[in-house]
Amino acid sequence: MISILFLLGLAQASDVYEICVNNKQQWSDRYQKWETTKTDTFYSLERPQIIIHKTSFELNRDSRPIIDSYEKDGMSCWREHENSEICYNSSTNKLSWELYKKNGDLVRDYMTVCILNGEVP
């Protein structure tokens, strides 16, 4: 019984984001703006999930570490490593994951959250 209560406590401490639309974008130095290279929708397919814990996050059950949590421009942000940043904007209901690649490219997944913790936000 105690283990069930412990697991329920852990489950409530994490935020579960289910993604409906994912726009893959790349930063254009020439035009100084984000350009969408691909759009994926998940209305009829299984939705990707991002679960944010205190010290790690999961992308479809693939666990990754969080080295820093902070607020930036009114958004909740988490850093996976020095070249990877995830931010959630609750006012627009968007989750962005920016990644600096070794070749110098800056890419991001700009995701629309359709379900947050089992409810429509």
Judged against a pLDDT cut of 50, whether residue 2 lies above it is answered with no
1 burial level (CB within 10 Å; 0-12, 13-18, 19+): exposed
Judged against a pLDDT cut of 80, whether residue 119 lies above it is answered with yes
Helix, strand, or coil (residue 47) = coil
DSSP state of 55: S
For the stretch 89-103, pLDDT in tens is 999 999 999 999 999
For the stretch 66-117, pLDDT in tens is 999 999 999 999 999 999 999 999 999 999 999 999 998 999 999 999 999 9
Q: What is the mean pLDDT of the chain?
A: 88
Give the span between the Cα atoms of 50 and 16, in whole angstroms: 6
16 phi, psi to nearest 5 deg: -110, 120
Give the span between the Cα atoms of 38 and 111, in whole angstroms: 12
